[in-house]
Structure 1
Amino acid sequence: MAIDAATNTFRIIIVGGGIAGLATAIAMRGPQREIIVLEKSRMNKEVGALLSLQPNAQKIVEQWGLGEILQKAKPTAERQFRILDTKGNIHMNIDMDAKKYGADRMVYHRQDLHSALREAALSTELSGHPATIVTAAKVVSCNCEAGKVTLQDDTTYQGDLIIGADGIHSVIREAVLKAGNHELVHPTPTGVSAYRLLVETADLSSIEVDPALFDPKRQATTLMMGHDRRVIMGPARNGDLLGLVGMVPDEHMHEASDANSWTTPGSLSKLLETYHDFPQWIRDIFAQAPDIALWQLRDIDALPAWVAGRCIIIGDAAHAMLPTQGQGASQSVEDAEALSAFFSSVIGRPTHSETNSALQQVFESRHRRASLIQTYSRQQAKPATEKGSVKVTLNPAEFLDYNCKYEGAVKWLEQQKAKEVESQ
């Protein structure tokens, strides 16, 4: 599907219809713009899991005017971040101040958030033209200079801008790196596997635990650490659900995890064996989960480039990171905001040069920040993820400020340039 040279429509092709792709489809809406989202699945069902939009991302989506639509997703505002040890000691209790950060940290069921973003991308009520979503559209190659992608069935789509939001196993990332003569980067094992569980809080009334230590409906993210293992817990759907992620170094696993699927069934008995020296109340919560998913965590090193020609990669395609800070989805929203900001002055169809120039600004405003958050997320999963990378010296409270006080790509870039001038 080639561009009609006679029109003055800015044609944007987004590869991937997940959180990053749909957020970008919303952010890039505008006059004289046609947005097409190519999604390889049929979007019949989103994976059941919890994810958060941290204040840095939540305030962005609220600025897009999505408040009413997002309320349908039944988000839960989390007001604290707590760190416990396996003996029941509270090591840290950080208040999540909405006034300080500009928004609450909101936790969503992934399926609910995905449905809300899809509704917003297709809405005729928001400004700009609604996006078109094409499902069962698996992209297999991309010509970055021409702005053309080819599907598995040989159908082609051509645009003024190609946005690769196609996840950690990104086809567009490979095209971007090849176009810049960079060495290809592939997802690598982190040495950590993760169990993912969802439990109805109504089923936890018999769990014996001091509510001052842990309450499944408390509006807080709770991290319990001990013995090279950790459990991250938090509520969603107005407290009706409790989500848990158990992170385990591979050498302590009692069953094999799958690197290619986060829905591979896990064994309750093996999970309990792995966490045998954690408090009984956590093990009792595990036992109430109707399903247990298990997958091997992988991420990618910081990339030398996200941009080539008319093409850019965002989200997990550009900076896949471990879930230790809950910033994966939020960084995708920041990417979408940056694209919107640096293309805000583009009315009608941009030239190749204008497109590439704006994309370079997006990269300049996002690469350093996303890479640092990537590094810290990996560092927090140590010792299993020890790779000799540069150590981040910020403590959790300081990094929370770094993450959540973000006010958009343009302002961040201005602040970084001002710091560079001061240091000269």
Structure 2
Amino acid sequence: MADRPFRVIIAGGGYSGLVTALALEKASIEFVLLEARDIAPHLGASISVHPHVQVVLEQLGVWPEIEAGVIPLTDREHFDQHGTMFDNSDVLGEISRQTNGGLTLFMERKFLLQCVYNQIAGKTKVRARTGFVSYAEHEDCIHVTTDSGETIRGDILIGADGVHSAVRAHMAEQLRPMDLATSQKLLSSFVARYHCIFATSHNSNAAGKPFLPDAMVHNVYYPNFSGIAAVGVQGLVFWFLFVKSEATTRTPDTPRYSEEDMHATIDKYGGFALGPGYTFHDLWDARIKAAMVPLEEGVLPTKWSNSGRVVLLGDAVHKATINPGLGGNLAVEGVVALVNSLRAALTGKTESADKKDKQRLSTVELQHVFQKYEREQRPRADKIVSLSGYVTRLEAMETWWLRLLRRVMPWFSAGTKASVLVGHMKEAQCLEFLPNPEGGFRATAAV
């Protein structure tokens, strides 16, 4: 036991799980990743990358493949419910200028996951179609049982398995006999007030004319619903229809929408314009793939780790509505905070301990690691989840004062709007054990 390397078990092979695996590999920390489905599944989801996460992806060697396959977003136009463009400020260009050339990207989630996976050297450690079932903690290790009955031994378990986290559910189950209130909070801390159709479509109508020019984003504002379309990849448009739900629901009882639900939503809202000369239904008819989901939001109010060797990450602890595209970036921030903390603890242990204790961390030491990660990440999660929810409600003009704010939005300069996000980006960490990329903001992103 004393001679085996420290080993991390990751449950979840989505964005946060794969980035964690790659970061651990770069830090020379052993890992095994368990994903119940295939890696990089062909779903309808798209995802954004902002300049501060560009820094991390450059550090990890992922950036060149991403940059070669996307079109950076440069223009954004906002339309009211009557089809009038009321704002076309250069906010995306201003973000790039304020970050010394940082890019705002929008791409298929599958493409981004594949790019991260491609950089992992130890691909045998990434176990597709191997689902997490349960864990059992011991004094010096943790055992994880998979859906095939296999037992995997490690030192810690990271639950990076999404808003409906099986790791978090098992944590709640174990805690229930001792602390029912906290157990229930682990399961029911995310609410959904909106739902969304997200889709990828061909960027051309029946006559072969593009819906949007390359590098363009369109936003449209209607009472209690809204839409976004963006062309961040050649020939594709990623689009969203956000609708205020009739009732607020809470995990684990948020809705699971069917194909019939999605078709009914398009039948109701499809005739409305998203941008000049095209409707939601036009995009729907040109779709490649689509899905409808509730927009859960919230930050887990309980501790993000148990008292032993389990810690939660990404959407398992904080879920933001997707209108401003900040949730995936927030997940990477959490990966950076956790891996930095873990590697620092292991490096200090290795340098100070004798051979017998090399790379062994006690549960007390692990709690310090987890607490540092949560202390750094929770305030950023609170901020982004709150901001994202605010943007969702603004775009749907949910209240009279949000409708008023929509009218005064053009009065604020692009620089002022950009500075809100750029300030957040400049406070983000880089991976401490890898060189910073050269060039301006990228070289000084960690402050």
By how many angstroms is 1:105 displaced?
1.3
Aligned length: 382
Residues 168 and 187 of structure 2 are in contact (CA less than 8 Å); yes or no, is this contact kept in structure 1? no
1:22 & 1:266 partners in 2: Cα distance?
32
1:291 & 1:273 partners in 2: Cα distance?
19
Partner residue in 2 for 1:315: 314
2:105 & 2:144 partners in 1: Cα distance?
35
Residues 158 and 311 of structure 2 are in contact (CA less than 8 Å); yes or no, is this contact kept in structure 1? yes
**Is 1:65 the equivalent of 2:64?**
no
**Is 1:359 the equivalent of 2:370?**
yes
What TM-score results when the alignment is normalised by the length of structure 1?
0.79
**Is 1:140 the equivalent of 2:133?**
yes
Residues 338 and 408 of structure 1 are in contact (CA less than 8 Å); yes or no, is this contact kept in structure 2? yes
1:104 & 1:196 partners in 2: Cα distance?
23
SS of alignment partner, residue 140 of structure 1 = strand
Partner residue in 2 for 1:370: 381
Q: Deviations over 1:137-194 (max 9, x none)?
A: 2212234564332223332222122111011111222344555942433355523121
Mapping for residues 143-222 of structure 1, pairs under 5 Å: 143=136, 146-176=141-171, 179=175, 181=179, 182-184=182-184, 185-186=186-187, 188-203=190-205, 216-222=212-218
By how many angstroms is 1:263 displaced?
7.9
Structure 1 residues 270-279 or 317-326, which shifts more? 270-279
The one-letter code matched in structure 2 to 1:95 is L
Of the three residues 279, 284, 293, the one matched with 1:282 is 279
Q: Deviations over 1:346-391 (max 9, x none)?
A: 24623123322112111110011112211222232238899xxxxx
By how many angstroms is 1:267 displaced?
5.1
Q: Deviations over 1:91-129 (max 9, x none)?
A: 3521343242352112121111111111112x2xxxxx6
Residues 8 and 32 of structure 1 are in contact (CA less than 8 Å); yes or no, is this contact kept in structure 2? no
Partner residue in 2 for 1:349: 359
CA 1:157–1:291: 2 relative to 1, 3 Å: closer
By how many angstroms is 1:225 displaced?
1.0
By how many angstroms is 1:409 displaced?
6.8
**Is 1:303 the equivalent of 2:301?**
yes
2:255 & 2:153 partners in 1: Cα distance?
30
Residues 92 and 104 of structure 2 are in contact (CA less than 8 Å); yes or no, is this contact kept in structure 1? no
Of the three residues 428, 439, 442, the one matched with 1:407 is 428
SS of alignment partner, residue 86 of structure 1 = coil
Partner residue in 1 for 2:24: 28
Of the three residues 231, 239, 243, the one matched with 1:244 is 239
1:406 & 1:81 partners in 2: Cα distance?
25
The one-letter code matched in structure 1 to 2:421 is L
Of the three residues 388, 393, 399, the one matched with 1:382 is 393
Residues 44 and 291 of structure 2 are in contact (CA less than 8 Å); yes or no, is this contact kept in structure 1? no
Structure 1 residues 355-364 or 83-92, which shifts more? 83-92
Structure 1 residues 180-189 or 138-147, which shifts more? 180-189
Residues 36 and 133 of structure 1 are in contact (CA less than 8 Å); yes or no, is this contact kept in structure 2? yes
The one-letter code matched in structure 1 to 2:319 is A
1:264 & 1:144 partners in 2: Cα distance?
41
The one-letter code matched in structure 2 to 1:349 is Q
By how many angstroms is 1:307 displaced?
1.6
The one-letter code matched in structure 2 to 1:313 is L
Residues 82 and 221 of structure 1 are in contact (CA less than 8 Å); yes or no, is this contact kept in structure 2? yes
SS of alignment partner, residue 7 of structure 1 = coil
Partner residue in 2 for 1:419: none
Partner residue in 1 for 2:39: 43
- Structure 2: stretches of 5+ with no match in the other structure: 248-252, 348-357, 399-404, 406-411, 433-447
**Is 1:106 the equivalent of 2:94?**
no
1:44 & 1:65 partners in 2: Cα distance?
18
The one-letter code matched in structure 2 to 1:401 is V
CA 1:251–1:377: 2 relative to 1, 3 Å: same
Residues 176 and 307 of structure 1 are in contact (CA less than 8 Å); yes or no, is this contact kept in structure 2? no
CA 1:409–1:28: 2 relative to 1, 3 Å: same
Partner residue in 2 for 1:414: none
Structure 1 residues 39-48 or 395-404, which shifts more? 395-404
Aligned-residue sequence identity (percent) comes to 19
Residues 78 and 106 of structure 1 are in contact (CA less than 8 Å); yes or no, is this contact kept in structure 2? yes
Mapping for residues 48-127 of structure 1, pairs under 5 Å: 48-71=44-67, 74-87=69-82, 88-91=84-87, 93=89, 94-96=91-93, 97-101=95-99, 103-121=102-120, 123=121
Residues 265 and 293 of structure 1 are in contact (CA less than 8 Å); yes or no, is this contact kept in structure 2? no
By how many angstroms is 1:278 displaced?
3.7
- Structure 1: stretches of 5+ with no match in the other structure: 124-128, 209-214, 253-257, 387-392, 412-424
Residues 259 and 295 of structure 1 are in contact (CA less than 8 Å); yes or no, is this contact kept in structure 2? no
By how many angstroms is 1:304 displaced?
2.1
Q: Deviations over 1:214-259 (max 9, x none)?
A: x61341333211121110111132x31001000011239xxxxx95
The CA RMSD over aligned residues, in Å, is 3.3
Partner residue in 2 for 1:231: 227
Residues 29 and 130 of structure 1 are in contact (CA less than 8 Å); yes or no, is this contact kept in structure 2? no
The structure richer in helix per residue is 2
1:12 & 1:385 partners in 2: Cα distance?
45
